[in-house]
Amino acid sequence: MSYLIFIIKSAFFNFSRSKGRTFLTSLGILIGVMAVVLLMAFGLGLKRYIEGQFESLGANLIYVLPGSKKALARGGGLIGGIKFDEKDVLKLKKIKSIIAITGAYANPATILDVKGKSEIAELVGANEQVVEIFNLELEKGRLLQKKDNDKKSKVIMLSTELAKKFFDFDNDEVIGENIKVNNQNFKIIGLLKSKGGGGFGGGGLDNHIYAPYKSTYIFNPEKNYYGIYLKTETKEQIEETKKQVEEILQKRYDKDDFSVYEQKEIMETIGSIIGIVNSILIAIAAISLVVGGIGIMNIMYVTVTERIREIGIRRAVGARQKDILSQFLTESVILSLFGGILGLGLSFLIVYFIQPFFPAYISIGSIVLALGVSSLIGIVFGVFPAKKAADLSPIDAIRYE
C-alpha cells in the first residue's frame, strides 16, 4: 500500500513540473468523456420526457397509424402510405368497447401569429372527443363541441402556456381573441391547463392547438387523417378492441398498410428508436476519446525520452522493470482519470443548467462508464510508453544525452 502511495505521489510531483502540458494532455479525454456523458444524459432525458407525455394521456388509449410495425420501428411508417378518412372512423365507432374516437389531421409546422408575434405549433384537427381521449382539462372558456365541426367553425383551443407567448393576460381577456393559423383567422374559444414537458424549444402537448377537423380542410383538401385515436372504457378491453379494429380495417386495407398500437407499444417502439440513434451518436463521440488516448500515448513517449537518465539511475539503485512499468502506467492512468473527472464535472454542470428546460439526467451507469473508460484508455494507451521505459538498459539509459 505504501509503495502504491509512493508511486501516486511521484506521479503528481512529475505532473506539477509541467502543469500546462498535463492539462492539455487531459483535455482530449475531458472533451470525449463530456460528449459521451452528455449524449447519454440527453438520451435518457428524451426517453423520460416522451414517457411522461404518453402517461399523461392515460393507459387505455389506442393508436391506429399508417404503415407496418416493422416499418415504424425502423423509423418509417408515418411518411407516405395509406391515408385514413371519415369512413374508417365511422366503421370503428361501432365497436362497443370504444368510448371515444377521433381521426386526426396534424401539421407540426403550423405558424401562429398574433399582432406580429409568431410561434410554431402543432395543429391537430379532430372532433370534440379529442378532449376525452387526450385528457384535456379546461382552464378558461369552453371546449370543442360537435356543433363546431357541423358548422366548420374556425375556432381553436390552446394551452395557457402557449397563449402566454402572445398575450399579457388575465385569462378571460384571451377568450374570443383572433389568432392567425397559417394566415387563416381562428377564434380562441378555450384555454387548456398545462400538461408540462418541454425541450428543444417546444412544449410537447402544450404546444398543440386543437381545431374542428372540418375547419382544417382548408389545410387538408384531401380530407384525410394521419391517424386515428380511440379510447376504451378499461385497460382490460384493449387487446380485444385492437383485434376488432384490425378485423374491420383489413376489409379495406392490407394488414401491412396500418398498425394498431396501445400506449405501452408506442413507448417501447419510440424508446428503441431513441436507443439506436443515441448509441450511434455515442459511438461517434467516443472517437474523441480515442484521439485523447493517442494524445496521452504521445506525451508519455515524450516523457519517457525526457526522463531516460532518471530511469537509468533508478534501475542502477535497484528498481526492477515492473517498478518502472508501474510508475509510467500509473501516470498515464492518472492523466486519463483527471480528464475523465473534469469532463464528468462539466457534464453535471451543463445538465444542471439544462434541467429547467429539458429533463436530461446523468445516471449511475454514465458515471461508472465515464470513469471506467477513462481508466481503460490510460492503461491501453499508456502501456506501450511504459514498456519502452521498463525495457531500457540501465547502462545505456545513464549514458543517454
pTM for the full model?
A: 0.61
Q: Which domain holds residue 147?
A: 83-252
Residues 314 and 365 in one domain: yes
Cα separation, 289 vs 205, whole angstroms: 38
Final residue of a structural domain among 252, 284, 307: 252
Clarify whether residues 138 and 238 are in a common domain.
yes
For residue 317, being part of any structural domain is answered with yes
What is the maximum alpha-carbon separation in the chain?
Answer: 99
Reading the chain (401 residues) residue by residue, the pLDDT tens digits are 665 676 677 666 666 667 777 777 788 888 888 888 888 888 888 877 777 766 666 668 898 988 876 655 554 445 456 889 999 999 999 999 999 999 999 998 889 988 888 999 999 999 999 998 888 889 989 999 999 999 999 999 999 888 888 887 666 678 889 999 999 999 999 999 887 654 333 456 788 999 999 999 999 999 999 899 999 988 888 889 999 999 999 999 988 889 888 877 777 777 777 788 878 878 887 787 888 888 888 888 777 777 777 777 777 777 777 777 777 788 888 888 888 888 899 999 999 998 888 888 888 888 888 888 888 888 888 887 777 777 777 666 666 55
Query: Looking at the structure, do residues 202 and 281 belong to the same domain, yes or no?
Result: no
Give the other-Cβ count within 10 Å of 22's Cβ.
20
Q: Do residues 97 and 244 both lie within one domain? A: yes
119: β partners: 112
Same domain, 134 and 221: yes
**Same-domain status, 297 and 343:** yes
Is 31 among the domain residues?
Answer: yes
